[in-house]
Amino acid sequence: MSLHGWFIALARSPLGHAMQTSRWGFAVVEMVHLLGLAILGGSVLIVDLRLLGVILKDESAVAIGRGVSRLLIGSLIVMVLSGIALLSEEAGKCYYSPAFRCKMALLAAAVVFYFTLHRQALLRAQSEKPTLWPRIAAAVSLLLWLGVGVAGRAIGLL
């Protein structure tokens, strides 16, 4: 099935129907999406500000990263699932939305970055001196996630 076909199928699925016809469905799912956003944002801020050497400087970077990883991944899953539900309400429109496409691209980049280069940077930050690479990784991470958030807002506004 083509990508477009997948979007149409989502809109026509039972989830899609429920979201399109329910009076409060969209609102409730969006609230869940926002709560997930708060938690995801908080976890990202804690680990990236540590990598930048702004907070918790006396703590091990790896320990901080590990300490919030379940929260970060958990809230990310909540956002993806609620996001799919929100998408099912107007999948056709989102498919053609430049803001939506941008958001998905940035999301993919942020997630891949988190599990690869970001993880590496955390291990590097373990060693004695604050080096350049962990800070760059933190800055890239923050920018990517911020981009996801801004693009997400743009979906509703453009």
Partner 1 sequence: MPLLQHLCEMLYRSSFGTMLRESNNAFSVIESVHVLSITLLVGTIAVLDLRILGLILRPVTVSSLARSVLPLSWSGFAVSVTSGFLLFWAEAAKLYANPSFRAKLALLALAGINALVFHTTVFRRAQEWETFQLCPWRARVTAVASLTLWSGVIIAGRAIAYF
Burial class (CB in 10 A: 0-12, 13-18, 19+), 104: middle
When the beta carbons of 39 and 117 are compared against partner 1, the nearer one is 39
Those residues with Cβ within 8 angstroms of residue 58's Cβ, 6 or more apart along the chain or in another chain: none
To the nearest whole angstrom, how small is the minimum distance from the Cβ of residue 23 to partner 1?
Answer: 9
Burial class (CB in 10 A: 0-12, 13-18, 19+), 21: exposed
Piece of 12-20, 83-91, 116-124, 147-155 that binds partner 1 (CB under 8 A): 147-155
- Residue 94 vs residues 7, 12, 104, 154: alpha-carbon distances, Å: 9, 14, 11, 11
Residue span 12-41 as binding mask against partner 1, x where in contact by CB under 8 A, dash where not: ---------------x--xx--xx-xxxxx
To the nearest whole angstrom, how small is the minimum distance from the Cβ of residue 108 to partner 1?
Answer: 20
To the nearest whole angstrom, how small is the minimum distance from the Cβ of residue 143 to partner 1?
Answer: 13
Footprint of partner 1 (CB under 8 A): 27, 30-31, 34-35, 37-46, 49, 55-56, 58-60, 63-64, 67-68, 70-71, 146, 149-150, 153, 157
